[in-house]
Structure 1
Amino acid sequence: MLHVVRRSLPLTSPRRFLTPASSSALTDVIPPVFDQFHRSFSNKSQSVTVLYDGLCPICMTEIQLLQYLQINRPEQAQFIDISVPGYDGEKYKGVSYEMAMEEMHVIDENHKVHRGIPAFAVMYRAVGLGWVGSLMMWPPVRPLLDQAYAIFARNRLRWTGRSDACKTESCAKKTR
């Protein structure tokens, strides 16, 4: 019998069914602290700008995955390819091509620039993977990821068959 009732109830918050008179009586039962807790750990996304190197095959694989994940969350993240001719860092909080080539940059909904691992956390939150970003920022894990990402960022041009000259000027993958 209970399963019949459960199936017939809509999946919404119990507060939706409260009248203004009855909702004040439940304030003591459902404290507002719960709402704040839920908001701080929810996967609710915001609109962010992700600056990425479109000529980096490793970077492109991740960006394509994030774009796919964003299908049901349109316009939560705007992906800007810094490798296209005419990229203007002044449009993106002064993040120049050279800066963006050194490490990942993401501009959040409050126009704050995040670099490195915090940038990934903001980017993942925007596409609905907030739990991944939270895990990355967790104090026991963060130093390890910072070190691993520093190694990747320092070597990614060499690992993807591109020269160090790519850091200062737009370039294409070397042909062998």
Structure 2
Amino acid sequence: MSDDSRTSKGELTVLYDGGCPLCRREIGLYQRIGEDAPLRFCDISQPCIPADELPVGLTRAQLLARFHVRREDGAVFSGAEAFVQLWQTLPGWRWLARLARLPGMLWLMERSYRGFLRLRPAIQRWVVRLERRRGPC
């Protein structure tokens, strides 16, 4: 895909926590399948990310606490809605975004995501332990 066609569709910036082993794996998947999609990935766990890269009105801590995406027009989406925005952009995943638009689905997805966020620290610790056992590749 040329740069011109990427711009005409509008770029979506994925703001993710690169310090989270779960997030890194999921983002890696999105990066592989979205190579030709108008996506930009920004690891907000890195202190070297300039302040102007972060959405206005949100702190780094707020951005690290939940999944966010930012459209080219500056609109920021969080949680389940952010996933839907991303899926709309990914080839082969648009059907999932349409499914999420069914009545009640986004509400259910957001509640599920909030439940996951409560479990995330424990799951992260578990994944880190597994990675240590495996050792370097």
| Structure-1-length-normalised TM-score | 0.60
TM-aligned CA distance change 1:126 to 1:158, over 3 Å = same
How many angstroms does 1:134 deviate by?
A: 2.0
How many angstroms does 1:90 deviate by?
A: 3.8
In angstroms, what is the RMSD of aligned CA positions?
2.5
- Residue 104, structure 1, aligned to residue 67, structure 2: yes
How many angstroms does 1:151 deviate by?
A: 1.0
Deviation >4 Å, runs of 4+: none
Whole-angstrom CA distance in 1 between matches of 2:77 and 2:51:
15
Q: Which consecutive unaligned segments of at least 5 residues does structure 1 have?
A: 1-44, 163-172
Whole-angstrom CA distance in 1 between matches of 2:23 and 2:87:
14
- Residue 160, structure 1, aligned to residue 124, structure 2: yes
TM-aligned CA distance change 1:87 to 1:153, over 3 Å = farther
CA contact (8 A) 2:54 2:60 kept: no
Aligned to 1:161, what secondary structure does the other structure show? helix
Whole-angstrom CA distance in 2 between matches of 1:139 and 1:103:
23
- Match in the other structure for 2:48: 86
| Structure-2-length-normalised TM-score | 0.75
Higher relative contact order (CA 8 A, sep 6+): 2
The 5 A counterparts of 1:1-176 are 46-71=10-35, 73-74=36-37, 76-94=38-56, 95-128=58-91, 129-161=93-125
- Match in the other structure for 1:39: none
How many angstroms does 1:89 deviate by?
A: 4.3
CA contact (8 A) 1:87 1:97 kept: no
Structure number with bigger Rg: 1
Whole-angstrom CA distance in 2 between matches of 1:155 and 1:101:
15
Tell me which moved more, 82-91 or 147-156.
82-91
Q: Which consecutive unaligned segments of at least 5 residues does structure 2 have?
A: 1-8, 133-137
